[in-house]
Amino acid sequence: MKIAGVELLRVAMPLVAPFRTSFGTETTRDILLVRAVTADAEGWGECVAMSSPRYSSEYVDAAADVLRRFLVPALLAAEPPGAHAVADLLAPFKGHRMAKAALETAVLDAELRAAGRSFARELGAVRDRVPCGVSVGIMDSIPALLDAVGGYLAEGYLRIKLKIEPGWDVEPVRAVRERYGDDVLLQVDANTAYTLADAGQLARLDPFDLLLIEQPLDEDDVLGHAELARLVRTPVCLDESIGSARDAAAAIRLGACRVVNVKPGRVGGYLEARRIHDVCAARGVAVWCGGMLETGLGRAANVALAALPGFTLPGDTSASGRYYAADITEPFVLDDGHLPVPALPGLGVAPLPGRLAEVTTAAEWLTG
């Protein structure tokens, strides 16, 4: 597979509203896009690293640096036979899964566009639309939270996820349940904000019939999650702790989780994400597709992944308008609580040139 060059683009995407989690508040996404150009097509990948290393050790400036100095030169020098060879080619460079995922996705997109195959078909999708949930950040007050949740339910979202942290957990969940009832699919996400010493507090969430509690403890504390799973009734879901299919298999064997959130950027790409899906499906563990405030490029790939058979819970594959007033692709629009799975070759979407130009802050072309 002859790759003529790779372009790194930085774009600044203002959010429609501040998004607060236990590790910080975002108002604008600083996003790194990767464009791989071959003789037959071009492909796009989106790096989901954040501006600072708060969600994970990766951050967008480091992703750009490792791509520029190591990953892209290795790719251009090797001329891999296809996207499935990219992960092994980049394996000598430790870590940097989000950067690797963006590059692999760009190569895979180009390959599939040239071959006339869709992302969904390549991954093994079995549905042409997927059910959607929405992630609700930490609010300044309970009334503000209730208004936000009510608005999302009115839009048709089928599942609500509440971000939580110590001091903002039981009462917001109680308020949502009391206002909107037990039929609402509800889950919480702690983003590693608790320790095992908080097990008693987390057990206070059990009466609210939550789908799951996501990543309550530190990402390295898999044994702690296994112990917590014995102390609470609410199913424990792992997110940051799962970096590969091997991680997923080990966590399941230890009893550390009953659900896994699959974020392709976090695990090194969509091909590894599919392997995690397969591992979990073989062991009867539910999976769902997480989100990282992606543009339409990353959203298209996530929707295709969420259409695989093992994704039995609604994911964070929200409509474009949840985060951006104007996306860089044609927007994804919610229809009866679902998003359509793109069927055109590759990702099935591409940046709108005018909109991309408006939000691009830097561009760099790399060749061998």
Catalytic residue selected from 94, 100, 161, 163 = 163
269: left (phi over 0), alpha (psi -120 to 50) or beta: left
Number of C-beta neighbours around residue 250 at 10 A: 14
Q: Are strands 133-136 and 159-163 parallel, antiparallel or unpaired?
A: parallel
Reported as type and span, the H/E element at residue 47 is: strand 42-47
User: In the numeric block, which tokens belong to residue 345?
Assistant: 């070759």
Q: Are strands 3-21 and 360-366 parallel, antiparallel or unpaired?
A: antiparallel
Residues in the chain: 368
**Separation between Cα atoms, residue 287 and residue 260, nearest integer Å:** 5
Residues with Cβ within 8 Å of residue 291, at least 6 apart in sequence = 135, 263, 299, 302, 315, 316, 317, 318
**Do residues 184 and 160 touch, judged by C-beta distance below 8 A?**
yes
Burial zone of 325 (CB within 10 Å; 0-12 exposed, 13-18 middle, 19+ buried): exposed
**Separation between Cα atoms, residue 41 and residue 182, nearest integer Å:** 49
Q: Is position 161 annotated as part of the catalytic site?
A: no
**Separation between Cα atoms, residue 259 and residue 185, nearest integer Å:** 15
Number of C-beta neighbours around residue 42 at 10 A: 18
Q: Is position 163 annotated as part of the catalytic site?
A: yes
145 SS3 class: helix
Residue where the block lists tokens 């112990």: 227
**Do residues 352 and 328 touch, judged by C-beta distance below 8 A?**
yes
**Separation between Cα atoms, residue 137 and residue 91, nearest integer Å:** 35
Residue where the block lists tokens 């007050």: 141
Catalytic residue list: 163, 263
